[in-house]
Amino acid sequence: MPLAPAQNDNLHLRSEEVQEIISRPPAWLIRWGITLVFLMLSLLIGLSFLIRYPDFVEAKVLVTTADPTERIAARFSGQIETLFVKNGDKVGIGQPLAGIKSTAKIEDVLFLKATLEEEPFMRDNDFLFPVDLLTELVLGEIGLSFLEFERSYMEYRLIRELQPFAGQMEGTKASIEEIQKRIISQQSQKELLDRKLYLAKIDYERNKGLHLDGIIADKDFESREMEYLQMEEQVNLMAISISQLQEALNTAYQTIKNTNINREEEETRSLKALIQSYQGLKRSLRDWEYTYLMKSSINGTVSFQKVWGANQQVNAGELVFTVLPDDKSQLMGAMKISPQNAGKVSVDQKVLIKLDNYPFQEYGALIGKISSISVSPDDEFNYLVYASLPNGTTTSFNREIPFNQELLGNAEIITEELSVAERLFFKFRSIMIY
């Protein structure tokens, strides 16, 4: 007769193996295993809140000076006529580096420039210029402007030296002196005539009374009256002559005034034309320099971008020289970051700069701090970010890196420090969105 299931289980529980397990107490690992697992999980969860590591945004960085390195490109396609410097030379502001061939001689143009910049030419309201030293120069495109300046200068000097209005002034002044003498002489004559007229009038009045009394004949009275009228006429004519001389004197004075005005106008016109042509010459010189002459606009060290020499061809827009500024006291890192995660970058955040030229594992990283961020992206939708370097080129390993050129590298902008739990929470939340 088969056994019931319950009886079968009881027999199985009381088997030799089961009895052995039941009769032996469990080991401590089994007894405390659940507790240890719980403690380990609690520790891991606690550490996930305590352990924090930085979140960063990566970008390519260019370490340069606060005054940026100058890049000098050719503005005109042609052959190099003269190289004024060698690779690695110290250069100053405005110093020529190289000249491209043109219809002008570079030496002549530079001599003209030095002459124009030598000293002020206005002295005591007079313009003096050593134009005789420049007549044989080969100036090419500048020649027309120089010829205009030379013509204006010669006209100005002729007016200043020959004084074309001086003769007219002297003649007018001599006429004034003669008229004044004649006026004085005729005024003296008029005084005599006035006296004669006075006496003639007395004689006329006396004879008139005698004529009315019938003492003298009509003929004698008419003779006396005629003499009186003639004397009066002479006085009037003398007054008219003096008035005409006075009018001539006023005209002479007005002529002197007009001559002075014309002289001032002519000298002012010639000086203005000279200054305009002088400015035009300087403008033509600047245009020529801008086109054919490559110059440094900062103090620094020049670096050739190729092996350049005389008669070598350069193309417009081709980079020929770079000039590293002498002032290296203030360095900065220039970066471009993509729109992704750009919102996490802000001013004063720490930046680790790992240079390509100096391995990070050996030299360490430069320490920077975000100083400014562009408010809008560029044409490629990247944001420009600038970082200052408070420690200069001293790395995190306290090693000094020589700064003889611009340095390229990778930047890590530390945006914030998050715990492991926060990162897991962010991941979990992003999953829940979907």
Nearest C-alpha neighbor of 332 from the set 372, 386, 385: 386
Q: Give residue 368's Cα distance to chain centre.
A: 31
**Tokens 């309201």 belong to residue:** 125
Task: Give me the amino acid identity at 147.
Answer: L
* Residue 204 · residue 228 · CB < 8 Å: yes
* Residue 375 · residue 347 · CB < 8 Å: no
Residues forming a β-bridge with 123: 126
CA 201 – CA 195 distance, rounded (Å): 10
Residue 258 half-sphere exposure toward CB, CA atoms < 13 A: 8
pLDDT band at 1 (very low <50, low <70, confident <90, very high): very low
Angle of the 143-162 helix axis to the 218-292 helix axis, nearest 10: 150
Q: In what order do the strands lie in the sheet with 70-73?
A: 70-73, 319-325, 300-304, 90-91
- Say yes or no to pLDDT of 290 above 50: yes
The pLDDT value recorded for residue 287 is: 92
How many Cβ atoms are within 10 Å of 197's Cβ, its own excluded? 20
Q: Is the pTM of this model over 0.75?
A: no
**What's the pLDDT tens digit per position in 222-233?**
787 788 888 888
**What's the pLDDT tens digit per position in 31-69?**
566 677 777 877 777 666 666 656 778 889 998 887 778
